Structure 1
């Protein structure tokens, strides 16, 4: 799956912040191995090297040699150290307005996290919020005036069943409503709970599909803990939280797109990305909701080069024709 640009940006900034820490700098140049950094940032050493090579050509306006971020890099032995960060490794300084906005956002996020379902995330948000609130001082009280509704959470009985099944290693029977408003019942082996894009997900092995699936917790209508023990599925322990797969009404689509539509590969979960000529590219993605796919394609209609399979091509063509007819009318 293609890496999202925001994810890489966070890692790039994290690399600078980590290598610029006083305790790291005091250890001397070339004090960190690429494979050690890769382990810390949960990527490959090759990806870390690509990040450093990108940072080598980043810096202050002017972009002359003296304006660029500089490293000591020994590719042969696999060592790197930050020599000149140009201020990028300094602790972040927030204005009062920025601090208030961040406190408000963290309070809203904390209210939407369930400590039972998401203990690590809830603890991290609470710790960050406490530090930032102390730093913001009296200004932090202004954030209490901001109220953001993130939507309804899962019923208490559902959350309790998920926690019990995971704790006891038991199988679950779910009654689940999909994004297309289709209700289904299925038995699953729960693996873990995770958070992504402000939603809680149950990552599990679906016995009906014989494959890993992610279920949004707030779409689980009922959850019943069964007597059967859950089978282990270690392959799902580190699997992406949301990775749709063909089956259960889903279709594997292929889109060929011109370069300006690159954001789709960076924002939508995709199975594969293939580069074409002249900056064009091709992606494979799993489509569970045809209406969603049609809207996505029409949003970048001028940059769409090809669509398959035929049924999705027909759905997009039909929607476009209907829109033109309505416009002409």
Structure 2
């Protein structure tokens, strides 16, 4: 392209070193401006029509023109195409024609039965030179890296706490006793070579772990710049939760991270971590309700039901999951435990009525806060270039790709939401079961295609 470019690392695949020496022409712009320019190149403006109290995700940043018409300025073309298709039953893009054509093209992908071709022949995704490369590709590095980090932190832990028992260590390291034993068995006699002098050596029983030779791995791992930046983002999101945390402890930790980061990089993360004023008000209201044990009333838009309803709830706790804040509460109207995402709540009012949450029903499993483990699962195929979706959604993938596609599974949760998700990713995700889901996806795609094909003709 003969120009500076910004690449999202999660979307980069098949990286190969070349013999040519890299050259970096001097760039006058800051990193912040390069990122902004890259985002602007993929933006568009559009006019959409939306049914009342529907598809709020599509228009929450739009300018209302009246009679259900909204204007969206400088939004991602890709996001608009995918989101508008997923809400085609209640929203319609009136212009530009390029987005309409993109929606129709994406809807056709949802109906393309040959999109996932696993018999070894090239699919519509793959170029000729890509099809020749049939070597298995690792698609699930995340869990492996997590296990590796936990294992390498075991040695510095026992170096600092030589008198800790196995059960105490497992609790401190957030592991089960069985996981700790398995990690020690893996570390035992591990090393860079097969030579005895280059191997880790240790012994253990239920009382203690004795490190004989740590091979220099008895210091805690340092944060990489990426890890430090991610940690700073998390800390800054905690800083914006009045009444829910100890602000001094969070601010002290965040300031330490800022003190060692590059100033240009720090500016980017600081600018991204700003909490919208409306969400700050919601957080403050919920904090007061929890502290004073009061009920709350609010308007809530559910993407699954695609409607906004009034809710009265007994709040239990606010928690952070996947960089989003959620309220765990007992929903009085539905007589059941519910989880509400804070950025979908409006007009939060703290009532005088005392809250009586059914705590036994509102306990949260931190490893599965939304109960996905008990949800029915769909069988999917995800294109290898879109494997980054598994980092944002609860998707389990196989270890290798077959002809460019990776088999996996995903909790369905609410069917209407899952159908919208599958439609919005129809060019890179194929659902093969259960049949009720595949039929619903096809029906919605046909309806959307009819609307936008008719619009173009």
Q: Same fold (TM over 0.5)?
A: yes
Q: Provide closer, same or farther for how the CA distance between residues 105 and 64 of structure 1 changes in structure 2, counting only shifts above 3 A.
A: same
Q: TM-score, normalised by structure 1?
A: 0.67
Distance 1:88 1:222 in 2: 53
My pick for the range that moved more, 222-231 or 150-159, is 150-159
Q: Which has the higher contact order (CA 8 A, sep 6+)?
A: 2
CA contact (8 A) 1:253 1:309 kept: no
CA contact (8 A) 2:324 2:341 kept: yes
Q: TM-score, normalised by structure 2?
A: 0.51
Does residue 44 (structure 1) correspond to residue 170 (structure 2)? The answer is no
Q: Report what 1:72 is aligned to.
A: 203
Equivalent residue for 1:17, pick from 144, 153, 168: 153
Higher radius of gyration, 1 or 2: 2
Q: Post-superposition shift, 1:65? A: 6.4
Equivalent residue for 1:164, pick from 266, 283, 288: 288
CA contact (8 A) 1:154 1:219 kept: no
Q: Report what 1:285 is aligned to.
A: 412
Q: Report what 1:243 is aligned to.
A: 370
Q: Post-superposition shift, 1:127? A: 2.4
Does residue 148 (structure 1) correspond to residue 271 (structure 2)? The answer is yes
Other structure's SS at 1:119 match: coil
CA RMSD of aligned residues (A): 4.7
Distance 1:34 1:213 in 2: 38
Q: Post-superposition shift, 1:39? A: 1.8
Q: Post-superposition shift, 1:176? A: 1.1
Q: Post-superposition shift, 1:256? A: 5.9
Q: Provide closer, same or farther for how the CA distance between residues 174 and 254 of structure 1 changes in structure 2, counting only shifts above 3 A.
A: same
Q: Deviations over 1:84-135 (max 9, x none)?
A: 444444244578xx39x94697278526732424414x5554222333445x
CA contact (8 A) 2:383 2:428 kept: no
Q: Deviations over 1:162-184 (max 9, x none)?
A: 11210111222221123455212
Structure 2: 5+ residue runs without aligned partners?
1-139, 399-405
Q: Report what 1:230 is aligned to.
A: 356
CA contact (8 A) 1:269 1:285 kept: no
Structure 1: 5+ residue runs without aligned partners?
none
Q: Post-superposition shift, 1:292? A: 0.9
Other structure's SS at 2:153 match: helix
Other structure's SS at 1:190 match: strand
Q: Report what 1:114 is aligned to.
A: 240
For 1:1-329, what aligned pairs fall within 5 Å after superposition?
6=142, 9-10=145-146, 12-14=148-150, 16-17=152-153, 19-21=155-157, 24-25=158-159, 28=162, 31-56=163-188, 59-60=191-192, 62=193, 69-74=200-205, 77=206, 79-92=208-221, 98=225, 102=228, 106=232, 109-110=235-236, 113-120=239-246, 122-134=247-259, 136=260, 140-146=262-268, 148-150=271-273, 152=276, 154-179=278-303, 181-226=306-351, 227-240=353-366, 242-243=369-370, 252-255=376-379, 268-269=393-394, 284-287=411-414, 288-289=416-417, 290-295=419-424, 299-301=428-430, 306-310=432-436, 312-317=437-442
